[in-house]
Amino acid sequence: MQRKRVILFVSVMMVILSILIVRLAQIQLFETKHFTNRDINLISQSVAQRSKEIAIDAERGNLLDRDGKQLTVAYKTVLILFPFLKDIEWDVSSVAEILKVDNSQLRQKVQAIKDPIVYGEREPFILSNEQMEEINQLEIPGVFAVRKSYPIYERPAEQLLGIANRDFLLTKRYPNKHLSNITRLGATGMEKSFDELLSGEGETKLIYHVDGKGRPLFGSNVKYVHPANPFYPLNIRTTLDFEWQQLMEMLVDKNEVTKGGMVLIDIEDNSVVAMVSRPKVNPVNPFAHGEEGTNNFMVQNQVLGSIFKTVIAAAAIDYGLDAKSRMFDCNRSINGEIDENYQYGMLNFKDSFAKSCNYTFATVGKELMSIEPLVVDSYANKLGLSIKVGWQGDFYHLKGFQQLADEEQGQVFSDPRNRKDTNLIALTSIGQLDVRSTPLAVANMMATIARGGEKQMVRVASQLEYKNGTKVKSFQSKKIVGKNIKPYTAISLQKLLLEVVNHDLGTGRQLQNLPYQVAGKSGTGETGKKVNGQQLENKWFAGYFPYDNPRYALVTVRLDAKSTDPSPLSLFADIVKEIHRLDHST
C-alpha cells in the first residue's frame, strides 16, 4: 500500500514537472515574441521591467501639405527629466535659470516622478533653440533637451488625412518590422492608405537600466537609441494647401453645413487642394457607436439628383436628341402627368438643362435606352461617375496601390432588370433610384468637362519623401483607362453648364455676379430618409471656374438636409470669392 502511494505521488509530481517544463519551453523558446492570443512580446516586456525609457520620436512618417508644412506630427523642443536625479547631486540652479523658473519648483517635480517625464504640467514646457543648446552644454546626467514628436490631433482635413492609433496586432500586420507596442497604425483615410509607407523602423528613445528597486543599474548613464536608417520613416507630401484648407473649413462651418462638405480640385494637375467633410471627428471617442465624424462623406456614394442630368445631356448630344427646335412640355412630371408643383412651360433642351426640367431628361433618357440599353452606363463611365477616380496603380514596391483606400465606386443600375422598366429609367435619368456617386467623382467630372473630355485620376499626394525631405518617388499624373467623351461633346456641355448660371431661369443664377465666371449644375437628391415626417435631401452644386480659363473644379453639398435648409450655392459663392482674393493677393 505504501509503495502504491509513493508511485502515485511520484507520478503526479512527474506530470506537474512535465507541465512546468512545457510551459517554461513555451515561454523561453517557442513563444517569446508572440505569447498568448494577445501577441505579447516577452523579450521586450522583460527588458521593459529592467529599464526606464521615454520615446522622443514614435518614428511614424508625416503627412505634409504641398509646401512641406507638417500636418499630422509636430516636433517640439522639450526638457526630459529622469527620476534618478532625486538620488544624485545636479546643477538644478543652472537649469532653473535657463528655464526662468524657481529652483524649488524644479526640485519638487523631480522628487515626485517615478519615470522619465517631459517637464511641464498639462502642456510641455517649450524650449527655444538657445535654451536647448545651453541645457545640453551643462551635460547633466538625466537632463536632456530634445526635439520630441507629438501627434497633431486637431488637424485640417481630418477625415481625408485620417486617424492613426495604437494597435497590439502590430506584429501580425508587419511581421518583419521591430515595432513597439505604442506604435500607431493607420485606421482611416490617408493614414490607412499609406500606412505601410509611413510606418518606420522603430522608435527613437532615451533609456537606462534599473535594479529591482528602480535604481540605476549602471550608474546614471542614459542611452540614446534610434533606428539604424536615418532616412526613415518616409513622409508623404499631399496636394493640400494648408492655408486654403483652413479657410474652406471656416467657410463650411460659417454656412452651417452640419453634414456634407466640399471638394476643390486643381484642374491643371487634377489634384485635391482642399476637402472638407462634416460632421467633425469626435476628439474624445472618434469610433463611438453612431459617430459619423470618421466618415469621409466626400469619397462615399451619395444620391445625386439632377447632377446626373449632365450624363444624360452628354449622351443626348452625341445621339442628336438635343435639337434647338425640339420643345419639351415642362409642365409635366416624369410620368407625363401634369406637375402641380412645377409649371415651366415649353422649353427646348438648353433651357431644360438650365432650369433642370425633369420631364425633358426622363423623356430623353427613355429614348436613349430604347436605342442602346447600356448607353447611360457607358456615359456615366466616360464622365467618371460610376468608377473610382482616386489615383491608383503600382507605386514603389506596392502593387495596385490606392491613394484613397476608403473611396467607394459609383453605380447607375443596381439591378440589370431595371433597364427594361421605363418608369425606372425615367427615375434613373434624373439621378434618383439606384444612381450613386461620390462628391469627389462629381468634382472630377466637372474637371473632365472643363479639360475638354479627358478623364484623369485625382491625386491627394504628389510624392514620397525621405525623412530629410529628399524625394523618393513622385505620383505622376495618370489618365483613367477607358473611353472619354468627345471634345465636341465637352464643349457643348461647357455651354450648357454656363447657361445654368447665366440664364434668367437657371438654377445657379445666384452665382452670376461673382469675380470669376462660373459654369456648373445644381442637384437635389431624395434620400428616402425622413425626420419628423419630413423628407431629407442631398443638395448639390458642382461646377468649375473661371469659365474662359478653367483652373478649379468645385463641389459643395449638404447631405440629409431638410427642404427648408439653405442650398449649397451660398457656400459655393463664398469659396469662389475667397479663391479670387487668394489668387490676387500679393
What pLDDT band is residue 48 in, cutting at 50, 70 and 90? very low
Mean pLDDT (whole number) for 573-585: 96
What pLDDT band is residue 187 in, cutting at 50, 70 and 90? confident
Q: What is the pLDDT of residues 513-528, one digit of tens each?
A: 999 999 999 999 999 9
Q: Which of 158, 159, 180 is nearest to 170 (CA)?
A: 180
Instruction: Specify the DSSP element, H or E, that contains 220.
Output: strand 217-220
Q: Is residue 34 part of a domain?
A: no
Residues 263 and 179 in one domain: no
The answer to whether residue 402 scores a pLDDT higher than 70 is yes
* Plot region of 36 (φ>0 → left; ψ -120 to 50 → alpha; else → beta): left
Mean pLDDT (whole number) for 94-98: 91
Instruction: Kindly state the cell numbers that stand for 324.
Output: 434647338
Residues 544 and 515 in one domain: yes
Rounded Cα distance between 314 and 94, Å, is 76
Q: What is the number of alpha carbons within 13 Å of residue 287 lying toward its C-beta? A: 6
Mean pLDDT (whole number) for 56-69: 88
Rounded Cα distance between 425 and 428, Å, is 5
The answer to whether residue 485 scores a pLDDT higher than 60 is yes
Rounded Cα distance between 80 and 198, Å, is 26
Higher pLDDT, 4 or 566: 566
Q: Which of 119, 147, 175 is the last residue of a domain?
A: 147
Residue 168: its pLDDT value, please?
A: 46
Contacts 24+ apart (CB under 8 A), 497-500: 497/310, 497/446, 497/449, 497/521, 497/543, 497/544, 498/547, 499/350, 499/351, 499/353, 499/354, 500/353, 500/354, 500/356, 500/543
Where is average pLDDT lowest: 30-44, 57-71, 188-202, 529-543? 30-44
The answer to whether residue 277 scores a pLDDT higher than 80 is yes
Q: Is residue 83 part of a domain?
A: yes
What is each CA distance from 288 to 185, 295, 300, in whole angstroms? 18, 12, 20
The answer to whether residue 11 scores a pLDDT higher than 90 is no
What CATH number should be reported for the domain holding residue 171?
3.90.1310.10
Residues 522 and 570 in one domain: yes
Q: Which of 147, 163, 188 is the last residue of a domain?
A: 147
Residue 306 falls in the annotated catalytic set: yes
Rounded Cα distance between 147 and 206, Å, is 12
Residues 210 and 255 in one domain: no
Q: Is residue 371 part of a domain?
A: yes
What CATH number should be reported for the domain holding residue 569?
3.40.710.10
What pLDDT band is residue 42 in, cutting at 50, 70 and 90? very low
Concatenate the DSSP letters of all residues of 132-159 into one string: HHHHHHT--TTEEEEEEEEE-SS-TTHH
Residues 121 and 182 in one domain: no
Residues 269 and 202 in one domain: no
Residues 541 and 568 in one domain: yes
Residue 408: its pLDDT value, please?
A: 98
Rounded Cα distance between 450 and 183, Å, is 44
Residue 289: its pLDDT value, please?
A: 67
The answer to whether residue 222 scores a pLDDT higher than 50 is yes
Q: Is residue 576 part of a domain?
A: yes
Range of the domain at 125: 76-147
Q: What is the pLDDT of residues 367-382, one digit of tens each?
A: 999 999 999 999 999 9
Mean pLDDT (whole number) for 397-410: 94
pTM metric for this prediction: 0.86
Rounded Cα distance between 70 and 62, Å, is 7
Residues 272 and 412 in one domain: yes
Residue 251: its pLDDT value, please?
A: 98
Higher pLDDT, 318 or 21: 318
Q: Is residue 502 part of a domain?
A: yes
What pLDDT band is residue 286 in, cutting at 50, 70 and 90? confident
Q: Which one of 306, 378, 429, 437 is the catalytic residue?
A: 306
Q: What is the pLDDT of residues 199-221, one digit of tens each?
A: 876 677 777 665 555 555 444 56
The answer to whether residue 45 scores a pLDDT higher than 50 is no
The answer to whether residue 399 scores a pLDDT higher than 70 is yes
Q: Is residue 25 part of a domain?
A: no
Mean pLDDT of the chain: 87
Residue 533: its pLDDT value, please?
A: 85
What's the structural domain count of the chain?
A: 3
The answer to whether residue 134 scores a pLDDT higher than 50 is yes
What pLDDT band is residue 37 in, cutting at 50, 70 and 90? low
Residues 169 and 301 in one domain: no
Where is average pLDDT lowest: 53-57, 113-117, 319-323, 406-410? 53-57
Instruction: Kindly state the cell numbers that stand for 338.
Output: 401634369
DSSP-assigned letter for residue 337: S
Q: Is residue 467 part of a domain?
A: yes
Residue 41: its pLDDT value, please?
A: 46
* Contacts with 375 (C-beta within 8 Å, 6 or more apart), sequence order: 315, 319, 368, 369
pLDDT cut 90: percent of the chain above it: 63
Concatenate the DSSP letters of all residues of 347-371 into one string: EEHHHHHHHT-HHHHHHHHHHHHHH
Residues 435 and 326 in one domain: yes
Mean pLDDT (whole number) for 344-355: 96
Q: Is residue 5 part of a domain?
A: no
Residue 479: its pLDDT value, please?
A: 97
The answer to whether residue 322 scores a pLDDT higher than 50 is yes
Residues 502 and 532 in one domain: yes
**Torsion angle, alpha carbons of 293, 299, 305, 308, to 10:** 170
Residues 270 and 218 in one domain: no
